[in-house]
Amino acid sequence: MDQQGRNMRHRLWAVAGGAAALALLTATGAHAEGEGDIRVTKTVVNKGGNVIVGTAQTVTFPIAVTIKDDSGAKKITHLSTFNKSNGYGFFSWNHDSSCVRKTSTTSVCTGTMTVDPAWIADSDDIDSNRVAGVWVVAATVNANDGDYWIYDDIAEYKVKRAAQLTTDASPEPVAKGAQLTVKGKLSRANWEDLKYHGYPGQTVRLQFRAAGAAHYGTVKTVKTDNLGRLSTKVTATAAGSWRWYFPGTTTTSLKVSAGDAVALR
């Protein structure tokens, strides 16, 4: 392991077949050390959004690091990211970055992180779902005059398990003033078996948009049962579309179901 790797307390977990490497860093307080006047002044992960990982689709996202030095920023020589509380991480950096010069002393250097969900279970020795939540970014940056700086916490963001949400309203059509039953199911990605499982005990909003209206409004809130299922009864007063809205949690993504249009008879 090179000196930068030792300073970052950086260990690599090999992925089956050697196709990529997954980083595990020990969770510690924020730390920085180096030489010269080079500094990171700003870091933006995924253009400011959460990173959502499901069960099948490869996920890539940028980390843009603003670097300042009196000789000009040169490049990122190390970039990694990991869960803030337990130190595990499963994103792979391709060891390359592109830098855009903004002034004579400042550049924005961007690296791309990638994960195939099939890698995740091999990246740790705990339940991989515990790695969802608040993550931090670590980096080593270099200047044209040889200055360098090592950081283990230059940004925080959230990595979340992808959610799925369905809606089914019946009967269709329904008589005006009659009871309408709206069902659904909230599930989320399990990174251990790469399947979606029901998400119990979550508060989900039932929303309605009258035919011709521009927006949905919340009618009531309902909690999912022990299998992630939703069911409630409402009085049908107008034709329109019903949907479920889940605002998300620290570990699970926001999700809005498709609307189910119900006509009156």
User: How far apart are the C-alpha atoms of 166 and 56, rounded to whole Å?
Assistant: 19
Regions of the chain with pLDDT less than 70 = 1-30
- Answer whether 45's CB lies under 8 Å from 183's CB: no
Q: What are phi and psi of 130, to 5 degrees?
A: -75, -10
Question: What topology does CATH give the domain 33-160?
Answer: Immunoglobulin-like (2.60.40)
Stretch(es) of the chain classified as CATH 2.60.40.730: 163-262
Q: Over the stretch 133-190, which tens digit does the pLDDT of each residue have?
A: 999 999 999 999 999 999 999 999 999 999 999 999 999 999 999 999 999 999 999 9
pLDDT of residue 30: 59
163-262 CATH choice from 3.40.50.1220, 1.10.10.60, 2.60.40.730, 3.90.870.30: 2.60.40.730
- Name the burial class of residue 86, with classes exposed (0-12), middle (13-18) and buried (19+) by CB atoms within 10 angstroms of its CB: middle
Q: In this structure, which amino acid lies at residue 124?
A: D
Supply the Cα-derived Rg of the chain in whole angstroms.
23
Stretch(es) of the chain classified as CATH 2.60.40.1220: 33-160
pLDDT of residue 121: 97
Structure tokens that stand for 260 in this block: 């189910």
